């Protein structure tokens, strides 16, 4: 295989569960599960701008959501599963600790190519795109299917003992379920133009989900989101990640569309302001879907395409911030 000059995203697809759960419904559920803990009505809307999320049916695995989206991407491209050279699963959720959830996704799709998982909190899909682009440019593969399946709504069922534990769990109450897939192919036209990633790993303890093999000796909750500590670990990451834009000879004013990680309405606005990007170049999804982690950026791409806001030749930035903490940007020219 000769080394291609470029890679491009040929298709983006999402699988959206039918069931919805509103903020008041989530708050009522938390009160019923934890009768000793008070939760102010409307708190999720007041704090995060949250309205509702999508919830997958009981018994749904992350691989089910990823496979459904992957199947749609292949169908849209008119391709059979055998046309995939590599499958990557890049989610914050997973079916099992071992083996890689990518195996389950591939099995459900009928894909027999090599597979592996990539995990970096909410930046997993961005990292997977960087890897897919590098492997395609190196001539290793011609077609890579990047998939993700987030099943994080299950975290809302975790018990809390007091107001402190509730505060640490609160951001998780906005997490929604979604599947997404991006088909990345070798191309002789510009597609993925640049990528940049950075990290402030000293902030890794701000947001954690406990490994099932290691219990918490102090009885602390399995999920811990310290919003203040997490926010304190981000400053500077967005500017460093956006260096890729300037290195490519572009500036924020050149962008036709900007997809950003959306854990709340206020956070999204703050990031757009920091990046000097007007809100009309973004695709708001948080209020209707909640925080869907790695699936959020593909969801915005798919939404923009459906709304007629994504045209061949458009300059698009995919920008992510994730617990850890890490920042990432993938710059692309839309050329499906």
Residue 162 pLDDT grade (very low, low, confident, very high; cuts 50, 70, 90): confident
| Amino acid 147: pLDDT | 98
Of the chain, the percentage scoring pLDDT greater than 90 comes to 72
What is the pLDDT averaged over residues 290-295? 98
* pLDDT tens profile 170-205: 999 999 999 999 999 999 998 999 999 999 999 898
| Amino acid 299: pLDDT | 98
What is the spatial distance between Cα 61 and Cα 100, in angstroms, rounded to a whole number? Answer: 13
| Amino acid 216: pLDDT | 55
Please report, for residues 136, 230, 237, 248, the alpha-carbon distance to residue 195 in angstroms, rounded to integers and kept in the order given: 14, 23, 14, 10
User: What residue has token string 């001539």?
Assistant: 139
Of the chain, the percentage scoring pLDDT greater than 70 comes to 96
What is the spatial distance between Cα 173 and Cα 25, in angstroms, rounded to a whole number? Answer: 11
Q: Contact at 8 Å (CB) between 334 and 311?
A: yes
Residue 329 pLDDT grade (very low, low, confident, very high; cuts 50, 70, 90): very high
* Residue 25 neighbours by CB distance under 10 Å: 13
* pLDDT tens profile 98-135: 999 999 999 999 999 999 999 999 999 999 999 999 99
Q: Catalytic amino acids?
A: 122, 261, 291
What is the spatial distance between Cα 242 and Cα 258, in angstroms, rounded to a whole number? Answer: 12
What is the spatial distance between Cα 109 and Cα 225, in angstroms, rounded to a whole number? Answer: 34
What is the spatial distance between Cα 284 and Cα 261, in angstroms, rounded to a whole number? Answer: 10
Q: Where are the beta strands (DSSP E) in 210-275?
A: 223-225, 257-260
* pLDDT tens profile 236-277: 887 776 777 888 888 888 999 999 999 999 999 998 988 888
User: What residue has token string 């309405």?
Assistant: 265
| Amino acid 140: pLDDT | 95
User: What residue has token string 């920042």?
Assistant: 327
What is the pLDDT averaged over residues 289-311? 96
Residue 5 pLDDT grade (very low, low, confident, very high; cuts 50, 70, 90): confident
What is the spatial distance between Cα 271 and Cα 284, in angstroms, rounded to a whole number? Answer: 13
Q: How many residues make up the chain in this entry?
A: 336
3-state SS of the chain: helix, strand, coil percent to 5?
Answer: 40, 25, 35
Residue 4 pLDDT grade (very low, low, confident, very high; cuts 50, 70, 90): confident
Q: What is the 3-state secondary structure (H, E, C) of 160-194?
A: CCCHHHHHHHHHHHHECEEEEEEEEEEECCCCEEE
Task: Give the mean pLDDT of the chain.
Answer: 92
Please report, for residues 131, 149, 199, 244, 312, the alpha-carbon distance to residue 194 in angstroms, rounded to integers and kept in the order given: 12, 25, 18, 6, 17
What is the spatial distance between Cα 87 and Cα 71, in angstroms, rounded to a whole number? Answer: 12
Contacts of residue 11, defined as CB under 8 A and 6 or more positions apart, other chains included, come to 73, 74, 76, 77, 181, 182, 183, 336
Residue 214 pLDDT grade (very low, low, confident, very high; cuts 50, 70, 90): low
């Amino acid at each position: 295989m000769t080394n291609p000059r470029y890679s491009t995203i040929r298709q983006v697809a999402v699988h959206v569960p039918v069931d919805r759960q509103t903020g008041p419904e989530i708050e009522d559920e938390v009160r019923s599960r934890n009768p000793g803990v008070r939760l102010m009505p409307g708190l999720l809307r007041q704090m995060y701008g949250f309205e509702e999320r999508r919830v997958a049916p009981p018994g749904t695995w992350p691989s089910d959501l990823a496979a459904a989206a992957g199947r749609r991407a292949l169908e849209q491209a008119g391709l059979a599963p055998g046309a995939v050279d590599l499958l990557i699963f890049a989610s914050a959720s997973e079916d099992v600790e071992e083996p890689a959830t990518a195996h389950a996704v591939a099995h459900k799709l009928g894909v027999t190519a090599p597979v592996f998982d990539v995990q970096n909190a909410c930046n997993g899909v961005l990292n997977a795109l960087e890897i897919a682009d590098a492997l395609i440019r190196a001539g290793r593969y011609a077609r890579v299917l990047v998939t993700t399946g987030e099943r994080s709504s299950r975290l809302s069922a975790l018990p809390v003992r007091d107001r402190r534990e509730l505060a640490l769990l609160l951001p998780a109450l906005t997490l929604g379920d979604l599947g997404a897939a991006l088909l990345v192919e070798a191309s002789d036209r510009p597609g993925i133009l640049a990528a940049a990633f950075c990290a402030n790993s000293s902030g890794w303890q701000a947001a954690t989900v406990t490994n099932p093999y290691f219990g918490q000796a102090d009885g602390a909750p399995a999920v811990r989101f310290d919003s203040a500590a997490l926010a304190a670990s981000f400053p500077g990451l967005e500017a460093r990640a956006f260096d890729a834009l300037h290195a490519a000879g572009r500036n924020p004013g050149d962008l036709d569309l900007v997809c950003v990680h959306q854990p709340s309405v206020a956070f999204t606005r703050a990031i757009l302001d920091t990046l000097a990007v007007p809100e009309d170049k973004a695709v708001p999804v948080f209020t209707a879907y909640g925080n869907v982690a790695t699936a959020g950026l593909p969801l915005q791409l798919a939404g923009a395409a459906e709304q007629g806001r994504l045209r061949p030749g458009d300059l698009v930035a995919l920008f992510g911030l994730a617990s850890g903490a890490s920042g990432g940007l993938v710059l692309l020219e839309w050329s499906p």
